[in-house]
Structure 1
Amino acid sequence: MNRKSVVALGASAVALIAATTLAVGPAQAHDSNSEEKTVTLTAKLRQLNGSGASGTATAVVSGQKIKHIEVHAKGLTPDAPHAQHIHYGKQAENECPTLKLDTNKDGRLTTLEGVPAYGPVVVSLNTTGETTPASFLDVTRFPVSKDGKYNYSRNNINFTDVAGTGYPGAGGTGTAKQIADAIRDGKGVLVIHGQDYDGNGKYNFSNPEGASELNPNLPAEATDPAVCGVLEEH
């Protein structure tokens, strides 16, 4: 798969990733006094699945908007698109996953295996266009790593209502305000996807990982998580 690959998954795929959020304990209490303040959140991004990749992220959140976000990553699969998102779930652990979530014991974490830790997608960090979870695998609009590196920057990303985030009511929908408040409270997890397990310089099906559980037309290498970090105020 290269930069010209087009993947536009519909609501069914978004529901799939959202529906896998598991109840792992009560959510932390929210400080209502901090709901509208502007905060600067940072994350140190560390490798998942032995990717060897790393990076940093900074996000300025104000009201129901990310006023500015930057992601600087290195050590990624070279010259390949990398889906990146902010994840959050009211009943998730809201942290980076470990191999304890490797349910089939194959030594790797898939995106869905990681959902109990980091929650479903609430923001797609695309380079252009809309940023809702509906675009979480539209690879034509995610950054491409030049020689394994990229520097991503975007302004004025609005939070939206997201179904499957574990809130009471129909569909477990969290409102834009609820999700913004949770991210401001340090519960957002930034995940970069895409891992070239066999080191042949491209994402492919010809390896033990096979197809992605998110879309059978994509290799698992294109969607498995490679880097993760929690956005927190320091």
Structure 2
Amino acid sequence: MIPTRTSRLAALAALPAALALAVGAASPAAAADGAYQINLAQLNNSGSKGVAMLSLKGNQLTVKIESEGLVPGQPHAQHLHGSTDGHDFHCPDPSADTNGDGVIDNTEATVQYGNINISLTTRGSTDAKSGLAVDRMPTADAQGKLSYERTLTVSQDVVDHIKDLHIVQHGIDRNGNNKYDFDGAGKSELDPKLPQEATAPTNCGEVQGAAVGSIPVGGVETGTGPVDPPAGKSVPLALLGAGGTAAAAAAGTLVLLRRRRAQLSPVPAENGGAAA
């Protein structure tokens, strides 16, 4: 990896801790908005990985993504997938390849990570209909690296269920020729005019498992029961930042208080001490 890119990924990964300090000093209303780090883990043995941040302020959602290991010079469709009605979706594991062709295509993966909620385009509409708007999706550079940032106005449902959504980036290079073609994995099941390589998921990362935040109303959507959490599971700001810091501070204070009380309190006579 190029050193400057490494520092950018490291800076983005460290962002929750910095945000935590600001949130801790902010008003309760600001702290309730929240921010989440997402670790993007490879799918389809793509070698792709990355770090993303979702930051909410009211109905304004800022999405920042730094990823690498993508197909160089190619557009990469990316979306927030999942549910805003409490259903439990998650990043797929290898078992999602139900037809056994060696590629988890988007249709197979959607069973596990849900439909598109927001299309993370660079401009214009962000609705589900823009899911394949490759002309408005970010393009990886010559080293297969991608940077993305956009602030969107989202619905209250998204705000209320942000922990049940997750990021998926698409685009793989199965035959290793640094481009999307039909020789790699055939036609896309979504659009036969597109290669499967262009629409298959390359990585995925969860904002937070629905089971952590709320009880799913419909159970696990795969119909096969829950699976082990994927490597792409995220760390909520509450665990990294203000909440975790506050909890640690509270625990430390409690220990000190107990020690002080033990030092100041007289020892009961029956234990060999003087009576009060």
TM-score higher than 0.5 here? yes
Aligned counterpart for 1:46 among listed residues 20, 41, 56: 41
Could you say what secondary structure the match of 1:206 adopts? Answer: helix
Runs of 4+ in structure 1 over 2 Å off: 62-65, 89-94, 176-180
Question: Map of 1:100-115 to 2, 5 A cutoff?
Answer: 100-115=95-110
The residue number in structure 1 matching 2:157 is 178
- Structure 1 residue matching 2:135: 3-state secondary structure: helix
Residue in 1 that maps onto 2:5 = none
Q: Deviations over 1:148-176 (max 9, x none)?
A: 00111112x122xxxxxxxxxxxxxxxx3
CA distance in 2, matches of 1:44, 1:198: 26
2:194 corresponds to = 218
Superposition TM-score, scaled by structure 2 size: 0.62
Aligned counterpart for 2:176 among listed residues 181, 199, 202: 199
Pairwise CA distance, 1:91: 6.5
Structure 1 residues 91 and 111: alpha-carbon distance in aligned structure 2, compared to 1, 3 A threshold: farther
Structure with max Cα Rg:
2
Mapping of residues 57-76 of structure 1, within 5 Å:
57-66=52-61, 68-76=62-70
Alignment of 1:144-155 (within 5 A): 144-146=139-141, 147-155=143-151
User: How far 1:98 moved relative to its partner?
Assistant: 0.7
User: Is the contact between residue 37 and residue 63 of structure 1 (CA under 8 Å) also seen in structure 2?
Assistant: no
Q: Which has the higher contact order (CA 8 A, sep 6+)?
A: 1
Q: Determine the C-alpha separation between the residues in 1 that align with 2:57 and 2:109.
A: 28
Unaligned regions of 5+ residues in structure 1, if any? 1-33, 160-175
Q: Distance in 1 between matches of 2:60 and 2:107?
A: 27
Choose from 92, 99, 103 the match for 2:94. 99
Give the structure 2 partner of residue 6 of structure 1: none
Asked whether the 8 Å contact 1:53–1:75 carries over to 2, the reply is yes
Deviations 1:70-101 (A, max 9, x none): 00000111111000000012475321101222
Comparing both structures, which one devotes a greater share of its residues to helix?
A: 2
Change in 2 beyond 3 A, CA 1:219/1:43 = same
TM-superposed deviation, 1:177: 2.3
Secondary structure of the 1:228 match is strand
Is contact 1:92-1:116 (8 Å) kept? no
CA drift of 1:115 comes to 1.2
Distance 2:54 2:34 in 1: 8
Letter in 2 for 1:130: S
Relative to total residues, which structure has the larger strand share, 1 or 2? 1
Using the size of structure 1 for normalisation, the TM-score is 0.72
Root-mean-square deviation (CA, aligned residues, Å) is: 1.7
Answering whether residue 166 of structure 2 is matched by residue 189 of structure 1, we say yes
- The size of the alignment, in residue pairs, is 179
In 1, the alpha carbon distance for the partners of 2:198 and 2:41 equals: 18
The C-alpha deviation readout for 1:36-94, integer Å capped at 9, x for no partner, is 9311011001100000010000011233331x110000011111100000001247532
Q: Which amino acid aligns with 1:215?
A: D
Q: Does 1:228 align with 2:204?
A: yes
Identity of aligned residues (%): 37
When residues 101 and 70 of structure 1 are mapped into structure 2, their CA distance, relative to the original with a 3 A threshold, is same
Query: Which residue in 2 is equivalent to 1:172?
Result: none
Letter in 2 for 1:86: L
Q: Structure 2: which 5+ runs fail to align?
A: 1-28, 209-235, 238-276
**Given residue 54 of structure 1, which amino acid in structure 2 is its aligned partner?**
K
